[in-house]
Amino acid sequence: MGTAKARAPPRTPATPTQPVETSRYLPEKTFIIDNGAYMIKAGYASHAPASDESISGCSSIPNALVKTRDNKIVIGAQLATVSDWNEAMFRRPVEKGYVVNWEAEREIWDQSFFDGKVTSRNQNYHIADPEDTTLVLTEAPNALPILQRHADEMVMEEWGFGGYARCLGPTLNAWNEIHSLFGDPVSNTSDASILPADCLLVVDSGYSHTTVTPVYKGQALQRGIRRLDLGGKHLTNYLKEIVSMRQYNMVDETYIMNEVKEAVCYVSNDFSGDLEKAWKSGQKRQGGPEEGIVLDYVLPDPNANKKGFIRPHDPLLHAKKKKGAVSGLSAEVLSEDVLVLGNERFAVPELLFTPGDIGMKSAGVPDMILQSLSVLPTGLHSAFLANVLVVGGNALIPGFMERLETELRQIASAECVVRVRRAKDPVHSTWLGGTRLAANREELSKVSITRQEYQEYGSGWAVRRFAGLV
234 binds another protein (CB under 8 A): yes
Positions in 33-62 near another protein (CB under 8 A): none
141 binds another protein (CB under 8 A): yes
Segment lying near another protein (by CB under 8 A), choices 182-190, 244-252, 293-301, 437-445: 244-252
Among 28, 84, 158, 177, binds another protein (CB under 8 A): 158
186 binds another protein (CB under 8 A): no
DSSP 406-443: HHHHHHS-TTS---EEE-SSTTTHHHHHHHHHHH-HHH
192 binds another protein (CB under 8 A): no
Residue 312 CB coordination number (10 Å): 12
β-partners of residue 31 are 44, 135
Q: Which is nearer to another protein, 45 or 65 (CB)?
A: 65
Q: Which is nearer to another protein, 46 or 281 (CB)?
A: 281
Q: Which is nearer to another protein, 154 or 181 (CB)?
A: 154
Give the nearest distance from C-beta 59 to another protein in angstroms. 20
Segment lying near another protein (by CB under 8 A), choices 11-19, 118-126, 302-310, 360-368: 360-368
Q: Label the pairing between strands 199-205 and 388-391.
A: parallel
Segment lying near another protein (by CB under 8 A), choices 359-367, 399-407, 420-428, 437-445: 359-367
Nearest C-alpha neighbor of 458 from the set 115, 157, 248: 157
SS (H, E, C) 178-206: CCCCCCCCCCCCCCCCCCCCCEEEEEEEC
441 binds another protein (CB under 8 A): no
Among 254, 430, 445, 450, binds another protein (CB under 8 A): 254
Q: Which is nearer to another protein, 365 or 401 (CB)?
A: 365
Considering CB under 8 A, how many residues would be counted as binding another protein?
107
Whole-number Å distance between alpha carbons of 341 and 190: 50
Q: Which is nearer to another protein, 338 or 412 (CB)?
A: 412
85 binds another protein (CB under 8 A): no
Q: Which is nearer to another protein, 142 or 327 (CB)?
A: 142
Among 21, 103, 191, 291, binds another protein (CB under 8 A): 103
126 binds another protein (CB under 8 A): no
Cβ atoms of residues 90 and 254 within 8 Å: yes
Whole-number Å distance between alpha carbons of 409 and 278: 27
Q: Which is nearer to another protein, 49 or 349 (CB)?
A: 349
Q: Which is nearer to another protein, 141 or 433 (CB)?
A: 141
Positions in 266-295 near another protein (CB under 8 A): 272, 275-276, 279-280
Q: Which is nearer to another protein, 2 or 324 (CB)?
A: 2
DSSP code for 207: S
Segment lying near another protein (by CB under 8 A), choices 91-99, 287-295, 391-399, 435-443: 91-99
2 binds another protein (CB under 8 A): no
Q: Which is nearer to another protein, 248 or 279 (CB)?
A: 279
Long-range contacts of 309-313 (CB under 8 A, 24+ apart): 309/263, 310/263, 310/264, 313/281, 313/289, 313/340
Cβ atoms of residues 256 and 250 within 8 Å: yes
Residue 356 CB coordination number (10 Å): 12
Cβ atoms of residues 188 and 144 within 8 Å: no
DSSP code for 141: S
Positions in 371-410 near another protein (CB under 8 A): 371, 373-383
Cβ atoms of residues 44 and 31 within 8 Å: yes
5 binds another protein (CB under 8 A): no
DSSP 315-362: TTHHHHHHHGGGGT--HHHHH--EEEESTHHHHTGGGGT-GGGGT--S
Give the nearest distance from C-beta 75 to another protein in angstroms. 8
Cβ atoms of residues 135 and 155 within 8 Å: yes
